[in-house]
Homo-oligomer: A and B are copies of this chain.
Amino acid sequence: MAYELYYWPTIQGRGEFVRLALEAAGAPYIDVARGAANAGQGVPAMQRELRSRTQTQPPFAPPFLKDGDVLIGQTAAILNHIAPPLKLVARNHRMQVWTQQIQLTIADMVTEAHDTHHPIDSGLFYVEQKAEALRRAKGFCSTRMPKYLQWFESIIVRNPGGSRHLVGGRLSYADLSLFQVVEGLRYAFPKAAQQALAGTPAVVQLHQRVAALPKVAAYLRSERRIAFNEQGIFRRYPELDLAG
């Protein structure tokens, strides 16, 4: 049975981490909110799930995933759930915990990247918090982005399974998520990302290897891959690209 992914249909956002895992594994899935409303899909179908008053395990926000009668929210929890059957994580419990720990750290970085353009209120427009965004982006570009990237670099380099992956000797969902973070940083902060990535060659190489995986490459070329834009998490506002 196909997974049902529920996420905003016009942005990559946090849903993209789930899309990438499903695509890389070749798993059948329906991107529900991108379907037609008259076919019972589209954003109304997502809103129905979010507003249900009977769902006993309601998600707080998109993305969420239906796997049969299981409904799961929170990106990292979704990935942790689908990774074993999709063979996107080691079978070993300890390695699963480690992969999840990396994913949670990626999630923290993604929140900080988002907050560069929305430091005050996600309910307001960027222009309503642009002055604050300039200040927040400065710290992100000069300190936080390099700090996260250097942590990823160190764990790739120290990986006992080899420096082709974050965990062990094969692809995990954490590799796919790090690929997406590099994509996003390069889109949103081309100059600052280039500067930071110059110090993390293993991250750059991992990104290249993921991009070249046949299923990932096919997905990136397809219409299923939504282009980056200025409604998502990673937005190109040149004034926020504060290389040191």
Interface residues of A (CB under 8 A from B): 53-60, 70, 72-74, 76-77, 80-81, 94, 97-98, 100-101, 104-105, 108, 111, 115, 119-124, 129, 132, 135-136, 138-139, 143, 148, 151, 154-155, 158-160
Find chain B residues with CB under 8 A from A104 CB: 74, 76-77, 104
Given contacts A81-B97, A123-B139, 16 further A-B contacts (CB under 8 A): A54-B158, A55-B158, A56-B158, A57-B101, A57-B155, A58-B154, A58-B158, A60-B148, A73-B105, A74-B100, A104-B104, A111-B111, A119-B119, A119-B120, A121-B139, A132-B132
* 20 residue pairs A–B, Cβ–Cβ below 8 Å: A56-B155, A56-B159, A57-B98, A60-B148, A60-B151, A73-B101, A74-B104, A76-B104, A115-B115, A119-B119, A119-B136, A120-B132, A120-B135, A120-B139, A121-B138, A122-B139, A123-B139, A124-B139, A129-B135, A132-B132
Which 10 A/B pairs are nearest by Cβ-Cβ distance? A121-B139, A74-B104, A60-B105, A77-B101, A120-B135, A56-B158, A74-B101, A132-B132, A119-B119, A120-B136
Assess whether B70 is in contact with A94, with CB atoms less than 8 Å apart: yes
A80, A111, A121 interface centre (most CB from chain B within 10 Å):
A121
CA distance A139 to B123 in the complex (A): 8
Find chain B residues with CB under 8 A from A139 CB: 120-124
Assess whether B58 is in contact with A151, with CB atoms less than 8 Å apart: yes
Assess whether B121 is in contact with A155, with CB atoms less than 8 Å apart: no
Find chain B residues with CB under 8 A from A80 CB: 97, 100
CA distance A115 to B136 in the complex (A): 11
Find chain B residues with CB under 8 A from A129 CB: 135
Residue from B57, B101, B132, B160 in contact with A119 in the complex, judged by beta carbons closer than 8 Å = B132
Assess whether B101 is in contact with A123, with CB atoms less than 8 Å apart: no
Find chain B residues with CB under 8 A from A77 CB: 97, 100-101, 104
**Nearest Cβ in chain B — how far from A127, in angstroms?**
14
A95 and chain B: residue at smallest CB distance = B57
Find chain B residues with CB under 8 A from A60 CB: 105, 108, 148, 151
